[in-house]
């Protein structure tokens, strides 16, 4: 019980920045109490769902995932390592809460033309394949920067041909694939492999799997959009899209049958992780699952926590984002919208547990070259700037193509200029910037803005904020490292020039 209480406090700290930012804007800017406050307060029970989910991960999934990673690394079998990388990449992403939330929003806005389950399967398969590729890269010692430069050139090239209805969603999909479930598992796999292989560096070879998992879904989802909107020929403009106020009780399905169906759907979502664990533990390693009772309880907590999280989204975080967008637009002052976007991005990123964990691991691996606190500030500033630019794009009605292509062109340029030790970490940091709480709120904010501003389209303009929150942390980290490296080399040259010659 004490462990669960600590986990609950941990999840509460993650939600606290959002509550403080929203409360500050409601009291001092809007000077009003939000409508539907009771439902929103009930929905903030999402923190309980997150706590149960995290507790289940700690008890069931993480220990067995780490033990499997170590076992396969010791065996040194390439096919087993690649199969394990694919299976755990797929299984972790298909159950990712933030991806579930975004996929359901996309299905609703597209009137079912974009199927939520199909979208998740496409993304999970692409992540599984690219994690297997990342494992191979670590084993063979291939430089990460060539993968990232080539990959993002491919991303940008596909964007030119993709229909505008899918671009924002595709880039958002890349940003939400690496979150509460995926980051710890994938990061542990990469760093564990790098640490166990002679001649590999944990900082330059261990990081990078998360970055690859962010990049490839952007390509596959845009390809899916080309199929839906170009080949099948779906025309959303021909259908009237009604995104009026949802009925909370109906959308949350809180009747007994709705709860049962929701739990069954959640079991379906978590089933791939269970199947992957059982297959590799029993069929490949042929070992009994250690601490079986603890693992079973952990999986049950994951299911209950994930279901409570989804219900909390529908009652709490989605309404908050949409109503804040409505109220701030009604103020007819875009400065408040920009301030809200910046504050949400900065505050929530500073409290992001995955970022804290990655920053601490990077500081240990870098042996003094990197400071965890500096990394957190740079990433938080990047997220805040990115979300603010994304909000400006929606307000201005500009095409997302030019923004993301320009952003990634800058990233590619900085990749050439930045010192090699920072590249893999910088790309990974772009994938851990948004928490399971932040993603739904920011997504709802973007959709709310797009539905309230005349001439905007919810599907084409509403998505994309998460993409900006992933691009600009890479820019700030690479930019800082480039300037710091140049400054250090310049100072070293000055010291060498000023020192007296040896006699």
3-state SS, 46-81, equals HHHHHHHHHHHHHHHHHHHHHHHHHHHHHHCCHHHH
Using CA atoms, how far residue 96 sits from 73, 89, 269, 459, in Å, is: 25, 11, 9, 22
Residue with tokens 């938080």: 380
Using CA atoms, how far residue 150 sits from 140, 145, 172, 404, 415, in Å, is: 18, 8, 20, 16, 11
**Better pLDDT: 371 or 486:** 486
User: What single DSSP character describes residue 473?
Assistant: H
- Other C-beta atoms within 10 Å of 502: how many? 4
Handedness of CA 75, 78, 84, 89 (dihedral sign): positive
Rounded to whole angstroms, how far apart are CA atoms 400 and 165?
Answer: 10
pLDDT value of residue 242: 46
User: What tokens does 461 get?
Assistant: 């303009």
| Residue 393 confidence class, pLDDT cut points 50, 70, 90 | very high
Kindly calculate the radius of gyration of the chain based on its CA atoms and give it in whole angstroms: 22
pLDDT value of residue 392: 94
Predicted TM-score (pTM) of the model is 0.73
3-state secondary structure of 418: coil
Full 3-state SS string of 259-321: HHHHHHHHHHHHHHHHHHHHHHHHHHCCCCCCCHHHHHHHHHHHHHHHHHHHHHHHHHHHHHH
Predicted confidence (pLDDT) per residue in 66-89, tens digit: 677 667 767 767 788 888 888 878
Predicted confidence (pLDDT) per residue in 168-204, tens digit: 888 888 777 766 556 666 766 777 677 767 777 766 6
Q: Give me the torsion for CA of 361, 362, 363, 368, rounded to 10°.
A: 140
| Residue 502 confidence class, pLDDT cut points 50, 70, 90 | low
| Residue 476 in this model has a pLDDT that exceeds 90 | yes
Rounded to whole angstroms, how far apart are CA atoms 176 and 103?
Answer: 10
Predicted confidence (pLDDT) per residue in 54-66, tens digit: 677 677 766 776 6
| Residue 382 confidence class, pLDDT cut points 50, 70, 90 | very high
Rounded to whole angstroms, how far apart are CA atoms 180 and 11?
Answer: 11
Length of the chain: 503
Q: Which of 393, 85, 383, 336 is nearest to 212 (CA)?
A: 85
- Other C-beta atoms within 10 Å of 304: how many? 18
Rounded to whole angstroms, how far apart are CA atoms 409 and 124?
Answer: 26
Taking each continuous run of H as one helix and of E as one strand, the counts in the chain are 23, 0
User: If you write DSSP's letter for every residue of 174-195 in order, what string do you get?
Assistant: HHHSSSTTHHHHHHHHHHHHHH
| Residue 41 confidence class, pLDDT cut points 50, 70, 90 | low
Rounded to whole angstroms, how far apart are CA atoms 108 and 261?
Answer: 19
| Residue 333 confidence class, pLDDT cut points 50, 70, 90 | confident
pLDDT value of residue 45: 60
Rounded to whole angstroms, how far apart are CA atoms 165 and 241?
Answer: 14
The top-scoring range by mean pLDDT among 5-19, 44-58, 333-347 is 333-347
Q: Which of 55, 24, 34 is nearest to 346 (CA)?
A: 24
3-state secondary structure of 23: helix
Which range has the worst mean pLDDT, 319-328, 332-341, 411-420?
A: 319-328
pLDDT value of residue 410: 92
**Better pLDDT: 23 or 418:** 418
User: What single DSSP character describes residue 369?
Assistant: S
Rounded to whole angstroms, how far apart are CA atoms 451 and 323?
Answer: 11
First to last CA, the chain: 71
Rounded to whole angstroms, how far apart are CA atoms 150 and 156?
Answer: 10
User: In the chain, what percentage of residues exceed pLDDT 70?
Assistant: 77
Ramachandran angles phi, psi of 380, nearest 5°: -60, -40
Which range has the worst mean pLDDT, 94-98, 102-106, 466-470?
A: 94-98
Rounded to whole angstroms, how far apart are CA atoms 483 and 485?
Answer: 5
| Residue 383 in this model has a pLDDT that exceeds 50 | yes
| Residue 475 confidence class, pLDDT cut points 50, 70, 90 | very high
Which range has the worst mean pLDDT, 118-122, 277-281, 311-315, 416-420?
A: 311-315
User: What tokens does 142 get?
Assistant: 């291939």
CB 196 within 8 A of CB 73: yes
Burial 427-441 (b: 16+ CB within 10 A, else e): bbbbbbbbbbbbbbb
Residue with tokens 């579930």: 100
| Residue 122 in this model has a pLDDT that exceeds 70 | yes
Mean pLDDT, the chain, rounded, equals 78
Q: Which of 441, 121, 189 is nearest to 312 (CA)?
A: 441
Q: Which of 155, 179, 164 is nearest to 54 (CA)?
A: 179
Task: Read off the pLDDT of each residue in 352-376 and give the average, rounded to a whole number.
Answer: 72
């Amino acid at each position: 019980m004490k462990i669960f209480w600590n986990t609950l406090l941990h999840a509460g700290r993650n939600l606290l920045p959002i509550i403080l930012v929203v409360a500050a804007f409601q009291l001092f800017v809007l000077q009003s109490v939000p409508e539907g406050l009771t439902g929103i307060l009930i929905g903030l029970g999402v923190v309980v769902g997150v706590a149960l989910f995290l507790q289940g991960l700690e008890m069931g999934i993480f220990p067995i995932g780490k033990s499997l990673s170590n076992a396969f690394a010791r065996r040194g079998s390439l096919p087993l390592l690649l199969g394990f990388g694919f299976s755990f990449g797929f299984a972790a992403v298909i159950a990712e809460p933030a991806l579930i939330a975004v996929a359901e929003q996309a299905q609703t806005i597209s009137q079912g033309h974009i199927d939520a389950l199909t979208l998740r399967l496409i993304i999970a398969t692409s992540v599984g394949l690219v994690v297997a590729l990342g494992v191979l890269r670590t084993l063979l010692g291939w430089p990460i920067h060539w993968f990232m430069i080539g990959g993002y050139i491919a991303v940008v090239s596909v964007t030119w041909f993709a229909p505008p209805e899918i671009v924002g969603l595709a880039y958002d999909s890349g940003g939400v694939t690496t979150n509460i479930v995926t980051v710890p598992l994938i990061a542990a796999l990469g760093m564990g492999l790098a640490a166990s292989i002679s001649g590999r560096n944990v900082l330059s070879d261990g990081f990078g799997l998360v970055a690859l998992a962010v990049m490839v879904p952007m390509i596959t989802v845009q390809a899916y959009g080309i199929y839906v909107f170009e080949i099948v020929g779906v025309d959303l403009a021909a259908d009237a899209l009604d995104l009026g106020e949802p009925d909370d009780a109906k959308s949350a399905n809180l009747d007994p049958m709705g709860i049962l169906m929701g739990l069954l759907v959640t079991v379906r979502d978590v089933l791939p992780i269970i199947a992957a664990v059982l297959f590799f533990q029993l069929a490949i390693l042929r070992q009994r699952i250690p601490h079986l009772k603890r693992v079973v309880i952990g999986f049950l907590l994951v299911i209950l926590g994930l279901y409570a999280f989804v219900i909390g989204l529908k009652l709490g975080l989605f309404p908050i984002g949409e109503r804040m967008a409505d109220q701030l637009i009604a103020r007819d002052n875009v400065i408040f919208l920009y301030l809200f976007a910046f504050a949400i991005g900065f505050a929530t990123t500073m409290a992001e547990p995955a970022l804290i964990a990655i920053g601490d691991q990077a500081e240990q691996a870098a042996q003094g070259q990197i400071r965890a606190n500096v990394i957190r500030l740079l990433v938080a500033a990047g997220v805040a700037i990115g979300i603010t630019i994304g909000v400006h794009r929606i307000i201005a009605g500009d095409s997302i193509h030019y923004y993301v292509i320009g952003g990634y062109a800058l990233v590619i340029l900085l990749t050439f200029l930045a010192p090699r030790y920072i590249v893999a970490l910088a790309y990974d940091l772009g994938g851990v910037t948004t928490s399971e709480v932040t993603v739904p709120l920011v997504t709802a904010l973007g959709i709310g803005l797009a539905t309230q501003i005349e001439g905007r389209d919810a599907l084409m303009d509403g998505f994309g904020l998460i993409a900006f929150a992933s691009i600009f942390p890479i820019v700030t980290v690479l930019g800082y490292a480039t300037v710091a490296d140049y400054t250090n080399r310049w100072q070293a040259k000055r010291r060498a020039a000023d020192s007296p010659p040896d006699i």
